[in-house]
Chains A and B, each alone.
Chain A
Amino acid sequence: MSKVDLAQFHKAFHEESLDGLDAMEQALLALDEGADDPELINVVFRAAHSIKGGAATFGFTDVAAFTHVAENLMEEVRSGRRPMEKAVVELLLRSGDTVRDMLALSMAGKSAATADSQVLLAELSAMVSGGTAAAPAAAKVAAPAEAIEGWDIAFRPFDYLLKTGNDPARMFRELGALGPLRVECDAGKLPALADMDASSSYLGWTLHLDAGAKRAAVEGVFDWVDGDCDLSLTPRVAAPVPVAAAPTAPSAPRAVRDVTANSESSSVRVGIEKIDTLINLVGELVITQSMLSQFHDGVDASQLEMLRHGLAQLSRHTRELQESVMSIRMLPISTVFNRFPRLVRDLAQKLDKKVVLDLRGETTELDKTVLEKIGDPLVHLVRNAIDHGLEGPARRLAAGKSDTGTLRMEAFHRGGSIVVEVADDGAGLNRDAIVAKAVQRGIITSGDGMSDEAVAELIFEAGFSTAAATTDLSGRGVGMDVVRRNVMDLGGTVGIRSTQGSGTTFTITLPLTLAIIDGLTAAVGEETYIVPLVSIVESVQVKPDAIRSVAGGGELFRFRDHWLPIVRLFDVFGCDGRRLAIDEGIVIVVEGEGTRIGLFVDELIGQQQAVVKSLEANYRRVAGISGATILADGSVALIADVTGLVRMQGRKKAA
Chain B
Amino acid sequence: MNEQASTASAASDEAAQYLTVNLGNEEYGVDILAVREIRGWTPVTRIPQAPSYVLGVLNLRGAIVPVLDLRLRFGLAREEYTATTVCVIVMVAGRQFGVVVDAVSDVVDVAPGAVRPVPDMGTTVDTEYLKGLTSVGERMVLLLDVDRLLQPQDAQMLEAALASPEVKAVA
A interface with B by C-beta (< 8 Å): 2, 280-281, 283-284, 287, 485-486, 489, 527, 572-575, 613-615, 617-625, 628, 630, 634-638, 647-648, 651
Decide if B139 is an interface residue (CB 8 Å cutoff): no
Contact A647 B45 (CB under 8 A): no
Decide yes or no: A613 and B48 within 8 Å by CB, A628-B57, A635-B43, A636-B57 being known contacts: no
Decide if B15 is an interface residue (CB 8 Å cutoff): no
Decide if B97 is an interface residue (CB 8 Å cutoff): yes
Mark the stretch among B60-68, B107-115, B130-138 that contacts chain A: B60-68
Closest A residue to B56 by CB, please name it: A636
Contact A615 B48 (CB under 8 A): no
Decide yes or no: A630 and B62 within 8 Å by CB, A574-B48, A619-B47, A651-B164 being known contacts: yes
Chain B residues within an 8 Å CB radius of A527: 45-46
Decide if B23 is an interface residue (CB 8 Å cutoff): no
Closest B residue to A625 by CB, please name it: B48
Contact B48 A624 (CB under 8 A): yes
How many Å from the CB of B168 to the closest CB on chain A?
Answer: 12
B62 partner, pick from A280, A574, A623, beta carbons under 8 A? A280
Decide if B58 is an interface residue (CB 8 Å cutoff): yes
Interface residue SS majority, chain A:
mixed
Contact B46 A622 (CB under 8 A): no
Contact A617 B57 (CB under 8 A): no
Decide if B33 is an interface residue (CB 8 Å cutoff): no
Contact B170 A635 (CB under 8 A): no
Distance in angstroms between the alpha carbons of A618 and B164 in the assembled complex: 22
How many Å from the CB of B146 to the closest CB on chain A?
Answer: 14
Chain B residues within an 8 Å CB radius of A628: 45, 57, 64
Contact A618 B63 (CB under 8 A): yes
How many residues of chain B are within 8 Å of chain A by beta carbon? 30
Closest B residue to A485 by CB, please name it: B170
Interface residue SS majority, chain B:
mixed
Closest A residue to B170 by CB, please name it: A485
Chain B residues within an 8 Å CB radius of A622: 47-50
Chain B residues within an 8 Å CB radius of A623: 48-49, 162
Decide if B96 is an interface residue (CB 8 Å cutoff): yes
Contact A638 B62 (CB under 8 A): no
The 5 A-B pairs with the shortest beta carbon distances in the complex, nearest first, are A573-B48, A636-B45, A280-B62, A619-B66, A284-B62
How many Å from the CB of A572 to the closest CB on chain B?
Answer: 7
Chain B positions 61-110 with a Cβ under 8 Å from a chain A Cβ: 61-66, 95-97
How many Å from the CB of A373 to the closest CB on chain B?
Answer: 11
Chain A residues within an 8 Å CB radius of B158: 620
Contact A647 B159 (CB under 8 A): no
Contact B63 A617 (CB under 8 A): yes
How many Å from the CB of A461 to the closest CB on chain B?
Answer: 14
User: Looking at A617, A618, A621, A647, which has the most chain B CB atoms within 10 Å of its CB?
Assistant: A618
Decide if B59 is an interface residue (CB 8 Å cutoff): yes
Chain A residues within an 8 Å CB radius of B63: 280, 613, 617-618
Chain A residues within an 8 Å CB radius of B97: 618-619
B59 partner, pick from A614, A619, A635, beta carbons under 8 A? A635
Decide if B16 is an interface residue (CB 8 Å cutoff): no
Decide yes or no: A620 and B45 within 8 Å by CB, A280-B63, A635-B59 being known contacts: no
Contact flags B25-67 to A (C-beta < 8 A → 1, else 0):
0000000000000000001111111100010111101111110
Contact A620 B48 (CB under 8 A): no
Chain B residues within an 8 Å CB radius of A638: 45, 47-48
Decide yes or no: A614 and B155 within 8 Å by CB, A625-B47, A636-B59 being known contacts: no
A575 partner, pick from B43, B46, B58, B66, beta carbons under 8 A? B46
A637 partner, pick from B45, B54, B66, B155, beta carbons under 8 A? B45
Distance in angstroms between the alpha carbons of A576 and B44 in the assembled complex: 16
How many Å from the CB of B164 to the closest CB on chain A?
Answer: 6
Chain A residues within an 8 Å CB radius of B159: 620-621
Decide if B3 is an interface residue (CB 8 Å cutoff): yes
For this complex, 14 residue pairs linking A to B, each with C-beta atoms less than 8 Å apart, are: A283-B62, A287-B62, A485-B170, A618-B96, A618-B97, A619-B64, A622-B48, A622-B49, A623-B162, A628-B45, A635-B59, A636-B45, A638-B47, A647-B164
Contact B49 A574 (CB under 8 A): yes
Contact B62 A281 (CB under 8 A): yes
How many Å from the CB of A265 to the closest CB on chain B?
Answer: 33
Contact B46 A615 (CB under 8 A): no
Decide if B166 is an interface residue (CB 8 Å cutoff): yes
Contact A619 B57 (CB under 8 A): yes
Contact A489 B170 (CB under 8 A): yes
Distance in angstroms between the alpha carbons of A618 and B60 in the assembled complex: 11
Distance in angstroms between the alpha carbons of A619 and B65 in the assembled complex: 7
Contact B95 A618 (CB under 8 A): yes
Chain B positions 149-166 with a Cβ under 8 Å from a chain A Cβ: 155, 158-159, 162, 164, 166
Distance in angstroms between the alpha carbons of A486 and B162 in the assembled complex: 20
Distance in angstroms between the alpha carbons of A527 and B57 in the assembled complex: 13
Distance in angstroms between the alpha carbons of A200 and B169 in the assembled complex: 62
Contact B48 A572 (CB under 8 A): yes
Chain B residues within an 8 Å CB radius of A620: 155, 158-159
Closest B residue to A284 by CB, please name it: B62
How many Å from the CB of B93 to the closest CB on chain A?
Answer: 11
Distance in angstroms between the alpha carbons of A625 and B45 in the assembled complex: 13
Distance in angstroms between the alpha carbons of A341 and B170 in the assembled complex: 27
Distance in angstroms between the alpha carbons of A53 and B64 in the assembled complex: 45
